[in-house]
Structure 1
Amino acid sequence: MAPQTARKTRPIRLADIARAAGVSHGTASNVFSHPEIVREEVRERVRAAAEAMGYAGPDPKGRLLRAGKVNAIGVATAEPLSYFFDDPFARAMMAGISEGCDATGAGIALVSAVNEEKLAWNIQSALVDGFILFCIEGGSRLVSLTRERKLPFVALELGFEDEDISAIGVDNVAGARLAARHLAELGHRRFAVLALPFVDNSTGPVSPEQIQAARYTATRDRLIGYFDALSPFGVDTSRVPIYETGNDELTTRAGLEWAFAGGESPTAILAMSDRIAMFAIEWLRDRGLAVPGDVSVVGFDGVPDAAFCIPPLTTIAQPIAEIGRRAARAILDFDGAVRRETLGVELVVRASTGPAKA
């Protein structure tokens, strides 16, 4: 005869505790959720019954889901989870988001996965009231997955032409103009651009056709701003080398190898992020090139780390923490409206830029 299969033990429920303690279901529930309104002797009887039966208390997920609000924000990226800790822009942004959440006691859930299948699962299963999206790489995928959840979300970049997407960002054209004009006024005429992604999963030299087909308009806007400022100084922008990086060290170094492989090397680097700029300074130093003696470098973001690199980085500073605070409020105080906010930027001049060599 086949061995008898053991019956699964039914989980202990609150109703079982109420029955064992001789109280109503409502009273037992109040012992765990509102103990101050239950008499002490009743509280002790219910808790004794719960301890004897191995009951730890109601599942908080069920209570939160019944309430329709979990008081938590999901912060999502298609990058590995380490992005939130390794990337200086992400760290500064998370500080602002945390301030916004602290003001209301809300929690934060970090949602990320390089694997698209896992990212979809993470987005679908996250117990949150809405999402803040880091849309540097894989942004279009993040948007489509989050839309499927039918929860409010806000993108931390005005990089999408879709006006139905709430977004908070900066005036990328104006910021890029400031960066390029600063270098041109220092006498630079030979430039290279180290760009953020124009589309997902793409790196390498950029053609005019690729610029026109850009998925991320923020990247294209920064390029427009650079070229708007350079043209009045007589720079032939059609000959400025542009390399699309993945905002990481490997592709930044590849872009610099390519830009410096030709005859006339650039004397100025326009980097679309501080992270790219700081990787560029390391590469130049490794090649024996002085910054800014041989090559000047301008970043874009204004992350705290930029002030402490060697030399300190000239950059376009955006109000990163304020963007994070506003994004948190947009989710926690969501009223159904789509909002697209544009904040100002400023040029912060430090030691990574100087006059062009005669």
Structure 2
Amino acid sequence: MSHDTNQSAATGHPRRPRRGRPGGTLAAVAAKVGVSRTTVSNAYNRPDQLSKDLRERIMGAAAELGYAGPDPVARSLRTRQADAVGLLFGERLGYAFRDPGTVEFMHGLGEACTERGRSLLLVPSPPGSASEGLVHRASVDGFVISSAAVDDPNVRAVLSRPQPAVIVDSPLGVAGVDFVGIEDRAGFAQVARHVLGLGHRRIGVLSIRRGEDVDAETSPRLLVERIEVGRAQHPVRQQRLLGLLDAAAELGIPSERFLVSERPYNSREEGVEGARELLAADSELTAIMSITDVMAIGVLDELSHRGVAVPAGLTVTGFDDVPAAQSFGLTTVRQPLEEKGRIAIETLLDDRPRTRAKRVLLPTELIVRASSAPPRS
């Protein structure tokens, strides 16, 4: 009984082609099919340029001869292009697939990479990590740096490479490097004006502190004190808190009663803990403003558990407008998360002369929903 030469006699599973087997070369495949070597190469690298029938004939001949396709390392050395983009991500890798705002951003990155024929290499850079080796070894045509700390050694490693880089959100003010983001301070001022305009004066704020601060003291402190903590290292959170102070100053409202609770992670569970902490510190709060939707939804969970009606008993707001915000009726600030990822790739891969850094600021929009109302009498 004969066996298919491409099947394992023991398992029936397809054999993995063995590179370097006699006859297993691009030239041999071209000769067998009767086409040029360029046509064989296109079957792997530009399949849209061949008919379906021709590509199937080429791939069938390659499998028969044991040819596994062009060597990507050799191609990269020859063309000096990796056809890949690196993403230096300022959190643990799992966070990229769990946080809804990051998922939206990643979707925009992925779609733009696909349209431009690039793959995406994720390089995690959680707080306190020192993985510069991953950056230096990464075979990519450029890097997107997302939400990294100012003193992150991996950022320095990326910027030491000759390939272009684009910073998304933070760090701020890096000379000579393209930037894509939003006006975080102005964006948070939008929702702060809304809450203050409704008449709220006793306000709690939920913020995030980065992972290296997880053992830091967490009890609520006055807003002005919190802003001074780590201002340079964590510009996004500090800019959003400053937006509340801006709105209060515009209305002549003193900020002495604004309390801030900083939680170690951006999660729904931390929103629950933050709400408990703020309400224990000031039972007369009439509003809780979160710098993210995810933690704001955690606040809604805790208030529901306590039987506190929203917004009659307490106003709750967020920031980002992640997909779940609408279903929870959350008043928030919308930022174009998916578009931010797409524009980051477009900025990184455009062929303009790199004589000056490009700065792209995307718009934000206040979205008023059912979670905000004037304070209880």
Per the normalisation by structure 1, the TM-score is: 0.79
Of the three residues 102, 107, 114, the one matched with 1:102 is 114
Cα distance change, pair 50–269 in 1 and its aligned pair in 2 (3 A): closer
Contact 1:133–1:142, Cα closer than 8 Å, also in 2? no
For these two proteins, the number of residue pairs brought into alignment is 337
Query: Hey, what does 2:308 align to over in structure 1?
Result: 289
Aligned alpha-carbon RMSD (Å):
3.6
- Out of 97-106 and 264-273, give the one that drifted further: 97-106
Query: Hey, what does 2:337 align to over in structure 1?
Result: 320
Work out the percentage of aligned pairs sharing the same amino acid.
32
Distance 2:78 2:183 in 1: 41
Shift of 1:18: 8.2
* Deviation string, structure 1 residues 134-157 (Cα, Å, up to 9, x no partner): 216788344223224443222221
Query: Hey, what does 2:189 align to over in structure 1?
Result: 177
Query: Hey, what does 2:284 align to over in structure 1?
Result: 265
Give the residue type in structure 2 aligned to 1:332. Answer: L
Give the residue type in structure 2 aligned to 1:273. Answer: T
Q: How does 1:135-284 map onto structure 2 within 5 Å? A: 135=147, 140-197=152-209, 201-202=213-214, 204=218, 205=220, 208=224, 211-212=227-228, 213-214=230-231, 215-233=233-251, 235-245=253-263, 246-284=265-303
Give the residue type in structure 1 aligned to 2:41. Answer: S
Distance 1:258 1:128 in 2: 45
Cα distance change, pair 18–85 in 1 and its aligned pair in 2 (3 A): closer
SS in structure 2 at match of 1:175: helix
Distance 1:344 1:176 in 2: 12
Cα distance change, pair 76–218 in 1 and its aligned pair in 2 (3 A): same
Contact 1:77–1:142, Cα closer than 8 Å, also in 2? no
Shift of 1:254: 3.3
Shift of 1:255: 2.5
Contact 1:191–1:240, Cα closer than 8 Å, also in 2? yes
Cα distance change, pair 353–65 in 1 and its aligned pair in 2 (3 A): farther
Shift of 1:292: 1.2
Give the residue type in structure 2 aligned to 1:343. Answer: L
Cα distance change, pair 286–146 in 1 and its aligned pair in 2 (3 A): farther
Give the residue type in structure 2 aligned to 1:60. Answer: P
Alignment partner of 1:132 is 2:144: yes
SS in structure 1 at match of 2:370: coil
Shift of 1:191: 0.3
